[in-house]
Structure 1
Amino acid sequence: MSNPPSPPPYAFGDLQGCRTPFQRLLQQLSPSSDTPLWFAGDLINRGPESLATLRDVVGFGGRAIAVLGNHDLHLLAVSAGIRRSKNSDTLSDILAAPDAAELLEWVRHRPIAHFEDGMLMVHAGVLPQWDVTLALELADELQSALRAPTWKETLKDLYGNEPRRWSPDLKRTERLRVAFNAFTRIRFCTADGAMEFAANGGPGSAPEGYLPWFDAPGRKTEDVTVVFGHWAALGLMLRDNVIGLDSGCVWGNRLSAVRLAASPAERTIAQVDCSECKASGN
């Protein structure tokens, strides 16, 4: 007899160290022991319990699939001396933990993108010129570079805003930086995929000539469902082929999870209040 299929995964928005709401949401969902748990990046930082939250997710073992977000990568950069810690960071408990080396190694080996059953999960977004095949190719190239012995040199070169648009003729470092920025930072772009990094308000705050990346006309990932986080000002957004999960838990709003059934009509939402997890600063 063949094994029954696994239940649909639950996908969670950005946890950012807000462990108490996360535990409350897990209790509400009561997932079975074989239910996959997807995390759209930014497991840690700015919330009050980054270390405990990270350990929780690591403890799920192989059923937890967490893509890398900009805050997760910031942790790696701070640990490597590439970037300075910010006043709003809550990373010191991780860096000082007795198992810090093991935790950082786990973070560094998370995927940039995950594709399964017609669903593509990334932290921030994808450029409109990328189909799933190219997106996964670029994600694999980027995550392989971050897992290599020379990862610190690679990560140092990834920070920067240029080039702002994709071209197949880009040199390796520029190619990786465009992928890094699209997968972990993008909110707005032009119709032809030039990225903008200053605006972080809701969709209506797009600078002139820009639009949300998922509304770019002719976007080549329209044939799959893209699941992402990162954009707290957007809030929870459910479309048939786009699911935005960051509903601003770390800003005192809500933590969201969506049951990723294959049929959009069968997808269900669960949310909890995060009023006790409001970060200070910007």
Structure 2
Amino acid sequence: MSTYLIGDVHGCFAELRALLAQVNFDVQQDTLWLTGDLVARGSASLAVLRYLRALGSGVRIVLGNHDLHLLAVHAGISRNKPKDHLTELLNAHDIDELINWLRRQPLLQIDHALKLIMVHAGISPQWDIKTAQSCAREVEAVLSSDSYPLFLNAMYSDTPNSWDPERSGLARLRFSTNVLTRMRYCFPHGQLDMLCKDKPENAPFPLAPWFELPRLIDADYAVAFGHWASLQGTGTPTGIYALDTGCCWGGQLTLLRWEDKRYFTQPAEHIPV
């Protein structure tokens, strides 16, 4: 029985299956964790969602910003961009079933036995575990409700950029969503910067990657995340695992076997046009 963590799939279905074949993944015995951004940019988002949905309890997922964008496109709130290669998925006969499954997936996974946290983008330096879990559950509750289009229509904003435990409503949900699915950099006191996407060595002062700031999360817990392909899995402190290695950009898909911390990779089969 093994626990496998895989970075952003982005519709790269052939690479996903090839990577799982490398480790002889067995859904009856093993557990597959995925850092989100299951869809978009790669050409086989439909196959990815169908496959993962069929795995049932053998897979643990967190939603990424591209997954939320798919929900918004399906709801008629955002535009279907050709570069995302979502048309086949949106036209599928089972699209409504897939969307309803997707919007009921969590934004945060915590396994207290493994001392492991998984999120798409990161954990705010201003949050402890209890706060992170509470904020994630609030967003998840809205996404799984009938009023989810109202939230999706309001999520496209970079503000507020600082945590306030007294904040409520859509502003609170938007901050939590930006932390969990979009964050890369923070200011020294933990405020979000939603503009910089450069590599850490090129980031302007005083910005720092969220994982370099002092954290309130218990140090006994490791954090695995995706979202930041330009890191190429490097440059993070002990106990922080960056797993997005840019498969959809012609890089590779990365898998971490948790029990022995061994990495496996699968090169991209096709570089996107």
TM-score by length of 2: 0.95
CA deviation string 1:251-272 (max 9, x = no partner): 10110000122xxxx2111001
Among 166, 169, 183, which residue is 2:166 paired with? 169
Alignment root-mean-square deviation, CA: 1.4
Q: Does 1:192 align with 2:189?
A: yes
CA deviation string 1:205-234 (max 9, x = no partner): 222211000001244353311111000001
Alpha-carbon distance in 2 for matches of 1:170, 1:244: 30
Runs of 4+ in 1 over 6 A off after TM superposition: none
Amino acid at match of 1:13: G
Q: 2:264 matched to which residue of 1?
A: 270
Amino acid at match of 2:98: L
Alpha-carbon distance in 2 for matches of 1:208, 1:77: 34
Is 1:129–1:219's contact at 8 Å kept on the other side of the alignment?
yes
Change (3 A) 1:94 1:255: same
Among 145, 148, 166, which residue is 1:148 paired with? 145
Alpha-carbon distance in 2 for matches of 1:222, 1:250: 32
Alpha-carbon distance in 2 for matches of 1:81, 1:205: 37
Q: 1:138 matched to which residue of 2?
A: 135
Q: 2:53 matched to which residue of 1?
A: 58
Alpha-carbon distance in 1 for matches of 2:240, 2:9: 20
Alpha-carbon distance in 2 for matches of 1:177, 1:232: 23
Once the two structures are superposed, the pairs formed by residues 234-253 of structure 1 within 5 Å of their partners are 234-237=231-234, 239-253=237-251
Q: Does 1:25 align with 2:19?
A: yes
Q: Does 1:95 align with 2:90?
A: yes
Is 1:18–1:277's contact at 8 Å kept on the other side of the alignment?
no
Amino acid at match of 1:102: E
Among 214, 217, 229, which residue is 1:217 paired with? 214
Amino acid at match of 2:196: A
CA deviation string 1:81-133 (max 9, x = no partner): 11112231111111100111101111111101010021111100011011111
CA deviation string 1:146-179 (max 9, x = no partner): 1111111012112200111111121221111110
Amino acid at match of 2:10: Q
Alpha-carbon distance in 2 for matches of 1:249, 1:131: 32
Among 223, 228, 249, which residue is 1:226 paired with? 223
Q: Does 1:124 align with 2:117?
A: no
Amino acid at match of 2:271: K
Amino acid at match of 2:41: R
Among 87, 112, 115, which residue is 2:110 paired with? 115
Alpha-carbon distance in 1 for matches of 2:258, 2:10: 21
Once the two structures are superposed, the pairs formed by residues 28-47 of structure 1 within 5 Å of their partners are 28-32=22-26, 33-47=28-42
CA deviation string 1:64-94 (max 9, x = no partner): 1110001111100000011112231111111
TM-score by length of 1: 0.92
Once the two structures are TM-superposed, the CA of residue 239 in structure 1 deviates from its matched residue by 4.8
Q: 2:257 matched to which residue of 1?
A: 259
Which runs of no fewer than 5 residues in structure 1 stay unpaired? 1-6
Q: 1:3 matched to which residue of 2?
A: none
